[in-house]
Amino acid sequence: MQIFVNGKEVTFNRKDETYISEVLVGFKEWLEKNGFYLESVAVDQVFYHAGNITELAEKKIDDVQKVEVTALSKLEIEFIQYSLVRNYFSALIKAIDEKNQDALANLASQYDEIQKTLSLNVKFAQGDENQLELMLRNPSDGDNPQSIRNAAASIVKLCESGLEELKKN
């Protein structure tokens, strides 16, 4: 079995592992100890997100020819997260400005993922967080679109500042 990390072949010393998921769990731990995180994996050209490697629990190592791992540094992950949050809230501002109810409903359906990202890295003022939480419970009700827009604009600014800081690193 060949294993590649970000396109470069690595040596794998098999111990007691029988299933590919066992290898990947150990590999994930090794990456994290070295400041990287498992983003995705392809097993014989079938792609899995890092959160779905348990799907490989019954795939035997002997049945696998090639494993391709995509690993990202903490800095890369933070950059992606800040960008996602900034883009989301920029779209929210646009939807509010245009009074686009369809776009607001679409953004509301995506908020659970954005909320997970916010809880991971993106830091913002408590007042903004409270306002956003109120708005995001039902973003299309339009109770106070200007305060919602202001809170979203604060998040966009904070994300842009965060991105600038990351670029310096």
pLDDT digits (tens, 9 = 90+) for 14-42: 788 888 888 888 888 888 898 888 888 99
Select from 9, 158, 146 the least CA-distant residue to 69: 9
| Residue indicated by tokens 């904070």 | 158
Q: What secondary structure letter does DSSP report for 65?
A: S
Confidence band for 141, pLDDT divided at 50, 70 and 90: very low
- Fold designation for 2-73: Ubiquitin-like (UB roll) (3.10.20)
Report pLDDT for 19.
87
Q: pLDDT tens across 57-70, in order?
A: 788 999 999 999 99
The span from the CA of 91 to the CA of 69, in Å, is: 32
Task: Compute the C-alpha angle 136/134/130, nearest 5°.
Answer: 110
The span from the CA of 12 to the CA of 156, in Å, is: 43
| Residue indicated by tokens 């079938």 | 46
The span from the CA of 163 to the CA of 78, in Å, is: 8
Q: Other C-beta atoms within 10 Å of 96: how many?
A: 22
Residue pair 95/104 in contact by the 8 Å Cβ criterion = yes
C-alpha torsion angle, residues 21, 27, 33, 39 (rounded to 10): -80
* pTM of the entire predicted model: 0.63
- Domain ranges, ordered by start, for the chain: 2-73, 77-168
Residue pair 89/151 in contact by the 8 Å Cβ criterion = no
Q: pLDDT tens across 99-132, in order?
A: 898 998 888 888 877 777 766 555 554 444 555 5
Residues 6+ apart with CB under 8 A from 118: 85, 124
